[in-house]
Amino acid sequence: MKFQTLHWQGGIDGQLILIDQRRLPNEFSEIVCSDIETLYDSIKTLALRGAPAIGVGAAYGVCLHMKGAAALSLQEAIVHLNKGADYLSSSRPTAVNLFWALERIKNTANEFVRRNPEASCDKLRECILSEAKKIDSQDKQMCNNIGHNGLELIKPNSKILTHCNAGALATAGVGTALAPMYAAQRAGVNFKVYVDETRPLLQGARLTSWELSRSGIDTTVLCDNMAGWLMSKGEIDLIIVGADRIAANGDTANKIGTYSLSVLAKHHNIPFYVAAPTSTFDLSLENGTLIPIEQRSGLEVSCFSETQTVPDGVDIFNPAFDVTPAANITAIITESALIEDISKKEIARVVDLGL
């Protein structure tokens, strides 16, 4: 890819640079996050989005917050760090990578203090930044591995449907759901991608089509309510989507509209694949009914761009995600393996393998 969704610039007093995805596809601009508040707002308002990218961004966000801890003792610095992590964790509730990354940074910091009780706070900050960069690097490798593990699913002349954006814009690397497509392109496989527009915020139309077309992949955007008709006409061979949280039994939370696609796919006997890193699994949740679903502002539905399309006083229902039952999923593509036996036992085994 010829762009970076996010990257760290400088040392422990550096800053996080990220693409402002709210402005795509009409304008390419970047946000310079020099403090944790700017990053929080970027996550909350979807300038930075996609479960893996949010996780990487959150790790760097703690580094931003720790710029205010330079003069603190190690014990005070840990308290300061925890406050920053708690603040970031309140930005969005569904994508588990956010909480996974923050917990990993906290554990790294606590272990450093345990091993180096007399160290300076700057040494602690260097340790945290190093771990954030490691999370970033591993995310890139994770994407490549998902691409490799999903490549075999894309046959010559395949017609693929995807929903929302689970590509390079949603990760530090080449993406999750789009990673097998990029791998197939590199392998010289000919295929076509249909992209759901993904109402209400049009992440498919604005983001996925933007990055796929930039990569030279044959791309067609369609309205969300057209997918079933395409399936009935035999125009879809497989569906690949991303995930924001996967329960222990394989039930998967992803962008609203994913559940409907899975039902249609099952009816038409079309393989339905979920692509996600093992960090997206939440084994503490027995099934998908326990996944918290973010409810967003009704203005996202009642207005199209700056034009109001719903009468005043009408209630709006706007969940950002829905949950696809494991029974509707053909396989889950992870960086470790292709999970075709979607059972608690097999999921736990693959998650334990990790990256």
CATH code assigned at 59: 1.20.120.420
By the 10 Å C-beta count (0-12 exposed, 13-18 middle, 19+ buried), 229 is classed as: exposed
Q: Domain check: are 210 and 313 in the same one? A: yes
Shared domain for 163 and 112, answered yes or no, is no
Is 318 within the bounds of a domain? Answer: yes
What's the pLDDT band for 71 if we cut at 50, 70, 90? Answer: confident
Residues with Cβ within 8 Å of residue 309, at least 6 apart in sequence:
302, 303
Q: Which residues are catalytic?
A: 244
Count: domains in the chain: 2
Share of the chain above pLDDT 90, in %: 96
**Would you say residue 333 lies in a domain?**
yes
Band of the pLDDT at 353, cuts 50, 70, 90? confident
> Could you say which of 145, 171, 186 is where a domain stops?
145
- pLDDT score, position 147: 98
Verify that 104 and 64 share a domain, yes or no. yes
pLDDT tier at 354 (50, 70, 90 boundaries)?
A: low
φ, ψ for residue 176, nearest 5 deg: -110, -75
Same-domain check for residues 122 and 173: no
For residue 70, pLDDT beyond 90: no
In a domain, 223, yes or no: yes
Give me the pLDDT at residue 304, please.
85
Claim to verify: residue 156 and residue 38 sit in the same structural domain: no
pLDDT tens for residues 111-156?
999 999 999 999 999 999 999 999 999 999 999 999 999 999 999 9
Euclidean distance between CA atoms 149 and 66, whole angstroms:
38
**Band of the pLDDT at 305, cuts 50, 70, 90?**
confident
pLDDT grade, residue 313 (50/70/90)?
very high
Same domain, residue pair 134 and 207: no
When the pLDDT of each residue in the chain is averaged and rounded to a whole number, the result is: 96
We report the CATH number of the domain holding residue 217 as 3.40.50.10470
Averaged pLDDT, 282-295? 97
Give the domain range for residue 175: 150-353
User: So what's the pLDDT on residue 66?
Assistant: 96
Residues 103, 135 contacting (CB under 8 angstroms) = no
194 and 292 inside one domain? yes
In this structure, are 139 and 154 located in the same domain? Answer: no
Clarify whether residues 176 and 227 are in a common domain.
Answer: yes
Q: pLDDT tier at 298 (50, 70, 90 boundaries)?
A: very high
CB atoms within 10 A of CB 251: 23
Is this structure's pTM higher than 0.85? yes
Q: Is the pLDDT of residue 162 over 70?
A: yes
Which pLDDT belongs to residue 348? 96
Share of the chain above pLDDT 70, in %: 99
Residue at token pair 């591995």: 145
pLDDT digits (tens, 9 = 90+) for 1-31: 579 999 999 999 999 999 999 999 999 999 9
pLDDT one-digit tens code per residue, 203-258: 999 999 999 999 999 999 999 999 999 999 999 999 999 999 999 999 999 999 99
Same domain, 282 and 333: yes
Last residue of a domain, one of 145, 175, 191: 145
Residue 306: which pLDDT band, with cuts at 50, 70 and 90? confident
138 and 189 within one domain: no
Provide the pLDDT for residue 1.
59
N-term to C-term CA, the chain: 22
20 shares its domain with 99: yes
Q: What is the pLDDT of residue 188?
A: 97
User: Which residue blocks in 90-120 are alpha helix, DSSP H?
Assistant: 96-115
- Domain boundary among the residues 116, 145, 174 is at 145
The answer as to whether 308 is a domain residue is: yes
Mean pLDDT of 63-77: 93
Residue 1 lies in a domain: no
